[in-house]
Amino acid sequence: MVDDVKEPEWNFILPEIPPPPSLTPGVGEGNDGFNLRDLVGAIQHGIDVRFVTEYLAYYDSDFIRTQISDTVEGFPSIFFAVGTNNETLIRMWIEHGADVSAIHSTSKVPLLAFAIMNSEQLDTDTTLTVSTLLSLGAAPQVIPSSFYTPFIQDLPNNGPSDEILKDDLEDETYSWCTPAARAKLARTANITQRYYLERASKTKKPSSRHKQVAKLRNAKALLGIPYFLIGQTMAANRLYQKLLNYMMVPTKRPLVMVFAGPSGHGKTELARRLGHLMSLDLEIVDCTIYSREIELFGPRDPYVGAEHGSPLNNFLAKNAGKRCIVFLDEFEKTTTDIHQALLVPFDNGEYQDRRDLKQIDCSKTVWILATNALDSTIQSFCKVHHKSIFEDDDVSEKLRLMKSLSKAIKEDFLAKFGSPVTGRISDFLPFLPFSPGEQAVIVHKFLLELGQKVQGPVNLVPGPKEQLLGNVKLKIRKDASVCRILAEAEYHSDLGARSLIMGARRVEDILVEAYLEVDEEIRESEKMVDFVVDVNGSEIVAKMVKQKESEEIDIT
């Protein structure tokens, strides 16, 4: 009798697949030349995405759908796409039929959990990959909820205790969640990822018809907008609903929306994300520098300078008949002269190119009017309904309140801008102050950006690539506590994210001070050092760790 030999636990590192000499389609007749192993080896070794696109496009799409979910060395091929931490490749795999809910059959590790833990192997942040998977339909429930609910809590070093996980561990779904896996997940699941996981677990999934219409209108990525923003859940959901409604029943009248809310609370970010996800051209117009319509659109032919047009005029002409976005920032700074010029494009989707007086179809243009002029209405409303908006989980009540707030905003907009403009607005989207948890996540976002900046190599050559502060690995322990303390000290509801960036700058300042305290010249051959940020009670502390030496610096 032979004793059963227990399979060794997977170490969450993908096997290395040798790259092909070249990724050349068509080696063989018809679809015979397709080789998934070669494709995986190529992406694992950093092949340009363009070659992957060309390779997949060569073969019949239905054939690719039958092959793309096959395994390589026992792993579904999408694990290797996720392993690259490349959003474009991940979307490409899903678009060609890969399963966003794939599981490694031997270890039972779900793709989403691997995406989080892969950050340790890559030594880089994988938050965008996690958000992308969630936006494409990955279920957060494949990870025990105690890892991310509530997201604004520090995870123990070894993850939630056996007592907390008692019910989960009896579920076969979580058989992969061994003590080693729990410890690794606790180390790698940062507060931003935990925020998106919890948010996804509470977000209503698009219906089959939502998905159908989005696919027919080549706008599937639109459904993922809520998974890429911090806060503003209601605004993001309302935006994609409104866009789907608009695409469902086409009309010559373009979509014109008002984004109303305090500065720094995601109005521009939502517009940028919409453009990125749907691959739409975006024109951001700073309305503070225009007082006359001739400045905004340019003079008409035959006046002097008409041949040059203006940035907005030329953008509309370039995108005639195509979906695009015009973002009019600080719309409250515009004048009646400009309002009059916008009435025809807003009303019937037509515009006259100032350079040659030709009619332009701008019916598919999405116009966004961003304004801070209605802040007092939003702030007052949120104070009155603070508990329902920021603390309770009653979605229907939140929807009711947002409809009420949108109506109040419309009335204020009408009083300020008049009926001709207001009557052409399709919808009013309120942008709310950030909750304490959202504030902490935004601080973490800025800390991630700081970490990426200082991790780069030192470069002492004067010029645009010079980098005196480098080879530093920023590590945030107890990230929920660190980010919450920084957010509480810095957040101002009138400034939003612009105030929270100061929390990251506090950390940056102390990092620079500690870096300069080292009594050695900066060299390009510097070894990587850790800069560890932690909490001690209610205070934030930091230390620079180089090999076995460490120095602790209080940054309060």
DSSP string over 285-312: EEGGG--SHHHHH-PPTTSTTGGG--HH
Whether the link from the prior residue into 302 is cis, omega within 30° of 0, is: yes
| Co-location of 396 and 515 in the same domain | no
In angstroms, what CA-CA distances link 342 with 156, 254, 325, 503? 56, 12, 15, 40
| Co-location of 347 and 407 in the same domain | yes
Token reading at 258: 């008002």
- Single residue among 137, 169, 202 that ends a domain in this structure: 202
| Co-location of 278 and 409 in the same domain | yes
Single pTM value for the model:
0.91
- 29 within domain boundaries: no
Residue 340 is part of a domain; what is its CATH number? 3.40.50.300
What is the reported pLDDT for 553? 45
| Beta carbons of 191 and 441 less than 8 angstroms apart | yes
Task: List the beta bridge partners of residue 332.
Answer: none
DSSP element (H, E) containing 216: helix 208-216
What is the reported pLDDT for 221? 86
| Co-location of 331 and 417 in the same domain | yes
What is the reported pLDDT for 40? 96
The helix/strand/coil state of 247 is helix
Choose among 302, 304, 305, 394: nearest CA to 356.
302
| Beta carbons of 87 and 132 less than 8 angstroms apart | yes
| Co-location of 397 and 449 in the same domain | no
Residue 442 is part of a domain; what is its CATH number? 1.10.8.60
What is the reported pLDDT for 296? 93
The helix/strand/coil state of 58 is helix
| Co-location of 409 and 443 in the same domain | no
Long-range CB pairs of 341-348 (<8 Å, 24+ gap) are: 341/293, 341/296, 341/297, 342/367, 342/421, 343/420, 343/421, 343/424, 345/254, 345/316, 346/253, 346/254, 346/256, 346/421, 346/424, 347/253, 347/424, 348/252, 348/253
What is the reported pLDDT for 27? 62
| Co-location of 45 and 162 in the same domain | yes
| Co-location of 183 and 63 in the same domain | yes
The helix/strand/coil state of 171 is coil
Token reading at 345: 């494009």
- 8 within domain boundaries: no
Show the low-confidence residues of the chain (pLDDT under 70). Answer: 1-7, 27-31, 547-556
The residue length of the chain stands at 556
Task: List the beta bridge partners of residue 552.
Answer: 543
Main-chain dihedrals φ then ψ at residue 467, nearest 5 degrees: -145, 105
| Co-location of 173 and 128 in the same domain | yes
Could you tell me the residue range of the domain that residue 288 belongs to? 209-430
Name residue, tokens 């060299």.
523
What is the reported pLDDT for 525? 85
- 177 within domain boundaries: yes
With a CB cutoff of 8 Å and minimum separation 6, the contacts of 86 are: 43, 49
What is the reported pLDDT for 106? 94
| Beta carbons of 64 and 56 less than 8 angstroms apart | yes
With a CB cutoff of 8 Å and minimum separation 6, the contacts of 355 are: 298, 301, 306, 307, 308, 309, 313, 314, 317
| Co-location of 411 and 471 in the same domain | no
DSSP element (H, E) containing 535: strand 529-536
- 14 within domain boundaries: no
The Cα diameter of the chain in Å comes to: 97
- 190 within domain boundaries: yes
Instruction: Name the domain count of the chain.
Output: 3
| Co-location of 444 and 327 in the same domain | no
Q: How far apart are CA 327 and CA 514, in angstroms?
A: 42
| Tally of CA atoms within 13 A in the half-sphere of 69 that contains its CB | 15
Q: How far apart are CA 291 and CA 286, in angstroms?
A: 11
Main-chain dihedrals φ then ψ at residue 542, nearest 5 degrees: -145, 155
What is the distance between the terminal CA atoms of the chain, rounded to a whole angstrom? Answer: 66
- 23 within domain boundaries: no
- Single residue among 163, 185, 202 that ends a domain in this structure: 202
Residue 99 is part of a domain; what is its CATH number? 1.25.40
- 15 within domain boundaries: no
In angstroms, what CA-CA distances link 279 with 59, 92, 188? 24, 14, 31
With a CB cutoff of 8 Å and minimum separation 6, the contacts of 376 are: none
What b-and-e string marks burial along 56-66, b requiring 16 or more CB atoms within 10 Å of the CB? beebeeeebee
- 380 within domain boundaries: yes
What is the reported pLDDT for 171? 83
| Co-location of 326 and 441 in the same domain | no
- Single residue among 202, 217, 246 that ends a domain in this structure: 202
Main-chain dihedrals φ then ψ at residue 75, nearest 5 degrees: -115, 135
